[in-house]
Chain A
Amino acid sequence: MFRIGYLARKLAIGALTLLAVATFNFILFRVLPGNPIQLQARAGNLSAEAVARLRELYGLDQPITTQYLIYLRDVFTGQFGTSITFQRPVADILAERLLNTLILLAAATILVVLLGIGLGIVAAARRGSRVDSATVVAALVFWSLPTFWTGLILVFVFGVYLHMLPVSGVSTPGLGLTSPIASFVDLVRHLILPTITLALVDIGQFVLITRSSLVDVLTEDYILTAKAKGLSRRQVVLRHGVRNALLPVVTTTALYVGLTIGGAIQVETVFSWPGMGRLMYDAVLRRDYPILEASFFIFAVVVVVANLVSDLLYQVLDPRVREA
């Protein structure tokens, strides 16, 4: 259903984008003032010899061009070097953190997208009704809630006063869980509050975009035609309306995934969720180049892939794009 040429072109553009991003990352962090060894050396009152060994360990003694080539090799072999802060391979650290972020992100995205689209459809289908107004107002209110504040409120209500749910981390420390089921239940309990926080503050945009897109579509002539054909209201809205209205929603979803993978930092901070956002924030403060380069590169990959997927979904949803 996709033409090979189209796909190849998209893939080539994606690959070029990634190379450019990789290069930009390398330059960006080296242009920033500060250097990763300096504060360590001072904290430990290190001898010149020890500092030289540190620089050698992280390859900072090499000329900048050599550093760049080593960096490119690392990036494209998925190794990313050694973290200067944690003194462990970056690939290992990212694997742990990415997994946590993906768990949170997957849960939140599913909730946000499904509920958001559903509510948007309900509102648009009953345009002008009280249900519609209430949904729009609620969506606007939730959209404007500060993430940090919302998270803290949930912590106080469900964690402190009701004692219902854990408020930090991905597992209960020292519980010594042995069975996979118990571990899974523990994880889910920890996942609830951060997921709800993300969902609450992010659902608004999906509701509003779905609604406005569907409202537009429902005024089209072909909708009138469909109605005139005697189709049921459900068929008109779902088959003729929603499919056409979903295009902007697909774009928004792709952007959302790309943004939240790095942007869940506030939720990760409130709930002490060991994910990518916090890792990056700390890495910036400590000038941990390998972590920064790797994280930014991964985000670039996610954004490029999400956009590619949304382009391809467009093809499925909209025949006109296919012809173009």
Chain B
Amino acid sequence: MQRHGSRDGEKRFGGLLVALILGLAACAPNATPSPSSSGVASAGPAASGASGPSASVAPSAVAPSSASLKVGWSSEPDTLNPLTTYSTEAEEVLQLVYDKLLDYGVDLSVEPGLAASNEYSADGLAITYHLQPNAKWSDGQAVTSADVKYTFEAIHKDSLGQYAQWLVDLVGVDTPDPQTAVVKFTKPQAFNPGLTIPILPAHIWSSKDAKAIGAFTNPTPVGSGPYRFVEWKKGESLTLKRSDTFWGPPPIAGQVIYVLYANEDVEAQALKNGDVDILTEVPPTIWDGLNGADNVKAVSLPSFSFHHIGFNLSTAAGSKGNPLLKDKTIRQALSNAVDRNQLVQLALAGHGKPGDSIIPIGLTDWHWAPTGDQVMDANPDKAKALLDAAGYIDRNGDGVRESPAGKPLEFRLIAIQSTSVDVRAAQLFRDAAAAVGIKLDLTTLDENTLGNTVYNKDTPDWDIFVWGWDSGVADPDYMLGVPLCSQIGGNNDVFYCDKTYDALYAKQASTVDVAARKAITDQMQQKYYEDAAYIVMWYQDKLQAYRTDTWGGWTEVEGGLVFNFTRDNYLRVFPLK
């Protein structure tokens, strides 16, 4: 759920929410390790008495090792306070230090986390979580339902951090016994918040008020997860070590060390050199160089992100956007004019898939795709026909069409300077528009300036932008929530507002039945696609690379080996030497 510019710091997105929501053991994910994790024996469920889906957390056949897994990254956490962080890097580290009630397995299916099992009440208004009986905080205290109660209620009460959005409907948490937490909501929750919220130790956090939490850097996090925080040399490296009190099977790697590289070429050399074992993100040009290097494997995996073209639809009195763009015909003509496959090939060097809906293809179960006549793509003739029919014709022979009132179809286009793929895409888009008689003037800005320009709800002074979205949750809710009227002034970057769409959104958010919900979300995606407030250009691949001679057992999964919303790759890899 993060805006991104030059780097695609993708967050975790979820796939199979289905099994969990229905609480059906029959839908439980397959516990068999994938073929690439050869040598990894399957392990039983993380804890005894688990009634939820079982999944292998770590291979029992491989003994814990003292070796360090070294991860190269190019950006470091902002803070280690989970309630104030906005960085993917912090979430990556914190997901090893803290536990969530539920987790995603290495195949992105739902598996037990701090809660060994959970079930929905018959009316869907309550979720009961049964905690792992032997869970302990790293300071030795037991993890109890009081910690769950504190975490959920504190986040809800003071609207703390990015997790607050998942607890808007929270009523409260009951704790009938230390192992059981009953979380109650005002309406059924299509998305189970246990999948995203880290549980914090009440004995450390509950004495702080919202202001104190806002200023708290959490320098030595106390968590219940598989790793413990050791040290963070700022600007250099961050070290975690295996926890000896983790409730599940111990992870194999004795330490996980994140090493910061300020330069991507050097980072790639460090991988070739064996200074690090895996890179969290590799730019396309460097990826090609790493692909085929000795003992290095470069992977290109589907991700959960997209880049898009957005139109200023603001109806604010102070809007300085070109009012012609409020005509859907012009937007649809542009959507028809642009060749998404060309964008992928030329701007992304082929590392992605052409885009359509605002739900990325990584969310296989939720993605809707246009078919037949619905498709708007690489069809300049149709674009011209649409414009002709609506009376937008070139009246003065300058190659640019004019509206019936004589206004030229000329718009400003902005993109982020440092995001080279976006700049390239914007240039291609400009050419495609010119070919159908629409003139675009491209300006590039830094990300913060672009953000400030776009998100100016009272006086937006722009016409069209190129930008991208990452989504951080395992559910279509987040992305579908962006174009809501209520998000104008919030995440709604194009000021789209449609009552029908809003009504559908509200309906899907509390529709727990998956098939019924899917019917609604499909309808929403189709509507937003047809309204063409966004032109989703592509779903880019996640490019990573790892050494094949140091650690084995990596599972290639959509979203990435690491920096995905499953932590299982960390827990499963084993040293080869």
Interface residues in chain A, defined as those with a beta carbon under 8 Å from any beta carbon in chain B: 33-35, 38-40, 42-47, 49-50, 53-54, 56-57, 82, 85-88, 93, 96-97, 100, 152, 155-156, 159-160, 163, 166-171, 173-174, 268-275, 278-279, 285-287
Across-interface contacts of B490 in A (CB, < 8 A): 42, 45
Q: Which residue of A lies closest to B219 (CB)?
A: A88
On whether the beta carbons of A43 and B1 are closer than 8 Å, the reply is yes
Interface residue B411 (Cβ < 8 Å from any Cβ of A): no
Interchain CA distance A166-B68 in the complex, whole Å: 18
* CB nearest neighbor in A for B254: A174
CB <8 Å contact, A45 and B266: no
Chain A residues in 8 Å Cβ range of B272? 160
Residues of A within 8 A of B523 (CB): none
Residues of A within 8 A of B266 (CB): 152, 155, 167-168, 270-272
Q: Which residues of B contact A268 (CB under 8 A)?
A: 262
Nearest 7 Cβ contacts at the A-B interface? A274-B235, A44-B162, A34-B448, A173-B237, A47-B159, A272-B262, A43-B86
Q: Known contacts A96-B234, A168-B266, A174-B70: does B162 contact A38 (CB below 8 Å)? A: no
Chain A residues with CB under 8 A of B3: 39, 42-43
Known: A44-B162, A50-B161, A93-B234. A156 touches B269 (CB 8 A): yes
14 new A-B contacts, CB < 8 A, other than A45-B165, A169-B259, A173-B70, are A33-B448, A34-B446, A43-B1, A45-B490, A47-B164, A86-B79, A86-B234, A87-B78, A100-B235, A167-B269, A173-B257, A271-B266, A272-B262, A274-B234
| Neighbour of A87 across the interface among B81, B270, B448, CB < 8 A | B81
Q: Give which listed residue, A34, A53, A171, A285, contacts B452 with CB less than 8 A.
A: A34
Counting CB contacts under 8 A, is B104 at the interface? no
| Contact across chains for B78 and A49 when beta carbons are under 8 A apart | no
A43, A57, A88: the one contacting B211 at CB < 8 Å is: A57
Q: Contacting A45 at CB < 8 Å: which of B263, B270, B491?
A: B491
Q: Which residues of A lie under 8 Å from residue B273 when comparing CB positions? A: 159-160, 163, 167
Of B259, B275, B449, which is within 8 A of A33 by CB?
B449
CB distance from A12 to the nearest CB of B (A): 37
Q: Please pick, from A35, A53, A169, A278, the residue contacting B210 in the complex, using a CB distance under 8 A.
A: A53
* Cβ–Cβ contact B78 & A85, under 8 A: yes
Is B546 an interface residue when CB atoms closer than 8 A count as contact?
Answer: no
Partner of B269 from A40, A49, A159, A269 at Cβ < 8 Å: A159
What are 25 A-to-B residue pairs whose CB atoms are below 8 Å?
Answer: A33-B452, A34-B452, A35-B448, A42-B3, A43-B2, A44-B1, A44-B86, A45-B491, A49-B159, A50-B164, A53-B158, A82-B215, A96-B234, A96-B235, A100-B235, A168-B259, A168-B266, A173-B236, A173-B239, A268-B262, A270-B262, A272-B236, A272-B261, A274-B236, A278-B262
Q: Which of A40, A53, A159, A269 contacts B86 (CB 8 A)?
A: A40
Instruction: Tell whether, in the assembled complex, residue A46 and residue B260 are in contact, meaning their CB atoms are under 8 Å apart.
Output: no
Which A residues are in CB contact (< 8 Å) with B152? Answer: none
Interface residues of B in 161-181 (CB under 8 A from A): 161-162, 164-165
B115-146, CB under 8 A of A: which get 1 and which 0?
Answer: 00000000000000000000000000000000
Q: Which residues of chain B (246-264) have a CB below 8 Å from chain A?
A: 255, 257, 259-263
Contacts of B381 in A (CB 8 A): none
Chain A residues with CB under 8 A of B214: 53-54, 57
Q: Which residue of A lies closest to B168 (CB)?
A: A47
Whether A269 contacts B451 by the Cβ 8 Å rule is no
CB contacts under 8 Å to A, within B67-106, are: 68, 70, 78-79, 81, 84, 86
Contact B447 A39 (CB under 8 A): yes
- Write out the residue numbers on chain A whose beta carbons fall within 8 Å of the beta carbon of B239: 173-174
* B70 x A155 contact (CB < 8 A): no
Q: Is B265 an interface residue, CB under 8 A from the partner?
A: yes
User: Closest approach, in angstroms, between the C-beta of B83 and any C-beta of chain A?
Assistant: 10
Please report the C-alpha to C-alpha distance between residue A39 and residue B79 in the assembled complex, in whole angstroms: 16
A35's partner among B1, B162, B211, B452 (CB-CB below 8 A) is B452
Chain B's closest residue to A152 (CB) is B265
**Cβ distance A46 to chain B, nearest Cβ, rounded Å:** 7
Query: Quick check: is B217 within 8 A (CB to CB) of the other chain?
Result: yes
CA distance in complex: A47, B491 (Å):
11
* Residue picked from B2, B239, B266, B478, most chain A C-beta under 10 Å: B266
Q: Knowing A86-B78, A285-B447 touch, does A155 contact B269 (C-beta < 8 A)?
A: yes
Q: With A and B bound together, what is the CA distance between A44 and B88 in angstroms?
A: 11
A79→B106 CA distance, assembly (Å): 46
How far, in angstroms, from A167 to B273 measured CA to CA in the complex?
A: 10
Known: A57-B215, A167-B270, A274-B235. A46 touches B162 (CB 8 A): yes
Contacts of B262 in A (CB 8 A): 168, 268-273, 278
For A33, list chain B residues within 8 Å (CB). 448-449, 452-453
CA distance A42 to B490 in the complex (A): 7
Determine if B480 is an interface residue (Cβ-Cβ < 8 Å).
no
Q: How far is A38 from B450 in the complex, measured between Cα atoms in Å?
A: 11
B451 adjacent to A38 (CB under 8 Å):
yes
Any chain A CB within 8 A of the CB of B499? no
The answer to the question of B570 belonging to the interface, with a C-beta cut-off of 8 Å to chain A, is: no
Residue B203 at the chain A interface, CB threshold 8 Å:
no
A-side contacts of B255, CB under 8 Å: 174
Whether B78 and A278, one on each chain, are in contact in the complex, defined by CB atoms closer than 8 angstroms, is no
Is B233 in the interface zone, CB < 8 Å from A? yes
- Measured between beta carbons, the chain A residues less than 8 angstroms from B448 are 33-35, 38-39, 285-287
A170's nearest neighbour on chain B, judged by CB, is B236
Q: A155 — nearest CB in chain B belongs to which residue? A: B266
List the A side residues contacting B18 at CB < 8 Å. Answer: none
A93: chain B residues at CB < 8 Å are: 234
Give A152 to B261 CA distance when docked, in angstroms: 13
A33 to B452, CA, bound (A): 7
B160 in contact (CB, < 8 A): yes
Q: Are B257 and A87 in contact (CB under 8 A)?
A: no
Bound state CA distance, A278 and B215, in angstroms?
24
User: From residue A186, how far is it (CB to closest CB) to chain B in Å?
Assistant: 12
For the complex, is B496 an interface residue (Cβ under 8 Å from A)?
no
B455 sits at the interface (CB 8 A): yes
Least Cβ distance of B414 to chain A in Å? 12
Chain A residue numbers with a CB within 8 Å of B162 are 43-46
Give the residue of A57, A97, A286 whose beta carbon is less than 8 angstroms from that of B235.
Answer: A97
A271 to B269, CA, bound (A): 12
Q: With A163-B273, A167-B266, A169-B236 as known contacts, state yes or no: A42 contacts B451, CB within 8 Å.
A: yes
Are B237 and A46 closer than 8 Å at their CB atoms? no
Alpha-carbon distance between A262 and B81 when the two chains are bound, in angstroms: 30
